[in-house]
Structure 1
Amino acid sequence: MMKMRRTTLAVLCCVAIAPLAKPALAADVYPDKTITIVVPSVAGGAADAVGRAVAQGLGKQLNASVIVDNKPGAGTTLGTQQVIRMPADGYTLLLGLDAALTTAPFMLAKLPYQPKTDLTPIATLATLQYLLVASPAAPFHSVTELVERARANPGTITYASGGEGSVHHLAMEAFQKEAGIRLKHVPYKAAPQGFLDVMGSHVDVMFIASGTAVSPIKARKVQGLGRTGVAPISDLPAMAALRDMPESKGYVFESWFGLLARAGTPASMVGRVSTALAGFMKSPEAEAQMQALGVTLTFEDPSTLAKRIDEDTKRYAPVVAKLKEQSAKP
């Protein structure tokens, strides 16, 4: 009888301990299946290129399969929402774009997620600047000519973007404010689609990631009017900075990409990804890949990425408020 009681007690203890041991075991073997990095943009853009480079490097470091899933739409919020809906098990990560995390809360009446509480930062990956480009058929060939024509004909020159609240949208709104002009917004599902229409002369101008625009500018498929960043672009050394032009004096606009996981993902798994990511991002290979993509490798820890999100959210709030005020006018 005593032996039976001891056996029963041992079984009960095993049953009680099993649920507690399971998460620890899952963390120990992580990753034991494919990891997906969701990129909230179409294939072919800067975000997609960075996501694929990181996926390849991370896969080598983890000795695991890491793939990219493009989920464009809703100003980059659709892909972000998809990650939040998935289990917090470390197998679905987000290539976070600043617009989806810092401006979307102000742009959308009802955002289906809260960046600060629904996502866990892992690292900043890269920063980039944009180029102001014009269609090959545009009747202006410089920022000065663009501004002069826009002032003479308000609301007639069109500009493309990756959607309401996207970085391309914000960049142009800030530029218009600086130059004292008003253009007509033509939003697209994703920026590369808008860029194709600029090259096809269906839309007049737009801001596009430098890595995407360099080759078409060199091939004269699109006109390059100016850059938004401070540092020169090695492949286009003659491209002037908008901040140095009298029509847009002081104008600077740069963007960033980060890697995040759904909130609640075990810290051990986040740490495993962070360590593996550091192994890749600090390598000469990563530096060369990012440079080839036209972005600046900017590897920062989780707390620094969290600080970026917080500071940019505060910085963009008044810009977005102005946009909503303008859209509310008849």
Structure 2
Amino acid sequence: MNASFLIATKKLCRNIALGASILGVTATASFAQAPNYPTQNIKMVIGFAAGGPTDVIGRILAQHMSASLGQTVVVENRTGANSLIATKEVAKAKPDGYTVLFASLSHNVNRLLLNEKADYDPLKDFAPISLAANLPLVLVTSYDSPFKTLQELVAKAKSTPDNVSYGSAGNGGSAHLAAAMMATQSGTKMLHVPFRGNAPALTEVMAGRVSFMFYPSIGIANHVNDKRIRVLAVGSAKPMEDFPGVPTMDSSGFPGFEQTAPWVGMLAPANTPKPIVDKLNVAMVQALNLPEVQKRLKELGAIPVGDTPEQFREFLVKDQARWAKVIEASGITAE
């Protein structure tokens, strides 16, 4: 056998052994991070204003996850551009488990609307942790609004185009998509007024300066009881017991609105070690299964989920396809 060939073979074997050793050390280091993790505060970035649905649920989970993880989960609101600012910040964060994103459906929608300009990929740039909850939408207007039924609102929109306005948490958000879908189905033209979060948008609706909006059912019952808003229709498959006598969008002539229910969930930057992702998932699912959390979320109109990272990833893939169809049918653009 050629001597040079034998020397090359020995060198190759040494390199393979060295590579395997390095990989083994890397894997061991990765798995070793989980038992000691976390050793410092965890930052939960939320792309919407304090007091809105995503923020409220995120803070409930942050409180209970802090207790189980032994370190404080600190909520940081990074508002603007329908959570695009927050999403990009977390996508570029160090994948060490100390920065996570509490996201909504805008996670997929921003990318669909902006394409490469979004500067992130909702699947490739993130490690899903768990889907937290779904929040059926309800169509609300001011309690003193001239619109007492959905039919009256649609009739006004048909008779005076652009005189009926609707609020949202930002371009491409759940409220925007739902209202645009309703406008398409009813053949009307209405004015979209985006805000930096659902909470400020709802404030303007309650004041009567914006005609209506689609809002996650979270906390709405309290405003109804205080006679600050009126619910004209619910976007769930069946009537909601919190709003007796209020029809569904489907029964009002607008089918398919139960699919517009926004979701909220937690993601980490891509390449976050799986043991850390799994530890965050366990803490989050445990929090969602606590009786007091279940009770609180039900009071807010949210439907708790709490799935695995793999299930959440599968959900995100299907969610992306669903909203791509809605955006195409409604003709929504990034502007």
> Do the two structures share a fold, i.e. TM-score over 0.5?
yes
Q: Which amino acid aligns with 1:83?
A: V
TM-score by length of 2: 0.86
Q: Secondary structure at the residue paired with 1:95?
A: strand
Q: From the superposition, tell whether residues 303 and 132 of structure 1 become closer, same or farther in structure 2 (CA, over 3 Å).
A: same
Q: From the superposition, tell whether residues 326 and 78 of structure 1 become closer, same or farther in structure 2 (CA, over 3 Å).
A: closer
Q: How many residues align?
A: 311
Q: Which amino acid aligns with 2:114?
A: L
CA distance in 2 between counterparts of 1:44 and 1:37 reads 15
Deviation at 1:235, TM superposition (A): 2.6
Instruction: Encode CA deviations 1:119-173: one digit per residue, 9 max, x unaligned.
Output: 0111111001111111244322101111111111122111111111111100111
Quote the residue 1:134 is aligned against. Answer: 141
Deviates more, 1:74-83 or 1:224-233: 224-233
> Does 1:91 find its partner at 2:122?
no
Quote the residue 1:107 is aligned against. Answer: 113
Instruction: Encode CA deviations 1:257-309: one digit per residue, 9 max, x unaligned.
Output: 11111101011111111122222222322211211222011122112211221
Quote the residue 1:158 is aligned against. Answer: 165
Q: Which amino acid aligns with 1:31?
A: P
On the 8 A contact 2:285/2:307 being kept in 1, the answer is no
CA distance in 1 between counterparts of 2:280 and 2:332 reads 42
> Does 1:244 find its partner at 2:256?
no
Gaps of 5+ in 1: 1-15
Deviation at 1:254, TM superposition (A): 1.1
Q: Which amino acid aligns with 1:251?
A: F
On the 8 A contact 2:102/2:264 being kept in 1, the answer is yes
Q: Secondary structure at the residue paired with 2:172?
A: coil
CA distance in 2 between counterparts of 1:321 and 1:245 reads 23
CA distance in 1 between counterparts of 2:283 and 2:61 reads 11
Instruction: Encode CA deviations 1:214-264: one digit per residue, 9 max, x unaligned.
Output: 222221212211111124433323322111113x24533311111111101
CA distance in 1 between counterparts of 2:249 and 2:332 reads 26
| Aligned with residue 213 of structure 1, among 208, 211, 220 | 220
CA distance in 1 between counterparts of 2:285 and 2:262 reads 21
| Aligned with residue 199 of structure 1, among 190, 198, 206 | 206
TM-score by length of 1: 0.88
| Aligned with residue 122 of structure 1, among 129, 141, 148 | 129
Quote the residue 2:282 is aligned against. Answer: 275
> Does 1:303 find its partner at 2:310?
yes
Quote the residue 1:68 is aligned against. Answer: 75
Q: Secondary structure at the residue paired with 2:123?
A: helix
Q: Secondary structure at the residue paired with 1:269?
A: helix
Quote the residue 1:314 is aligned against. Answer: 321
Q: From the superposition, tell whether residues 192 and 86 of structure 1 become closer, same or farther in structure 2 (CA, over 3 Å).
A: same
Deviates more, 1:248-257 or 1:74-83: 248-257
On the 8 A contact 1:72/1:78 being kept in 2, the answer is yes
CA distance in 2 between counterparts of 1:327 and 1:265 reads 30
On the 8 A contact 1:227/1:241 being kept in 2, the answer is yes
Quote the residue 1:8 is aligned against. Answer: none
What is the aligned-residue identity percentage?
Answer: 27
Q: From the superposition, tell whether residues 155 and 212 of structure 1 become closer, same or farther in structure 2 (CA, over 3 Å).
A: same
Deviation at 1:26, TM superposition (A): 3.6
CA distance in 2 between counterparts of 1:249 and 1:77 reads 30
**Map 1:35-50 → 2, pairs under 5 A:** 35-50=42-57
CA distance in 1 between counterparts of 2:279 and 2:334 reads 45
> Does 1:257 find its partner at 2:254?
no
CA distance in 2 between counterparts of 1:99 and 1:91 reads 22
CA distance in 1 between counterparts of 2:183 and 2:201 reads 19
On the 8 A contact 2:181/2:330 being kept in 1, the answer is no
Q: Secondary structure at the residue paired with 1:230?
A: coil
Deviates more, 1:261-270 or 1:216-225: 216-225
Gaps of 5+ in 2: 1-21
Deviation at 1:199, TM superposition (A): 0.8
Q: Which amino acid aligns with 2:110?
A: A
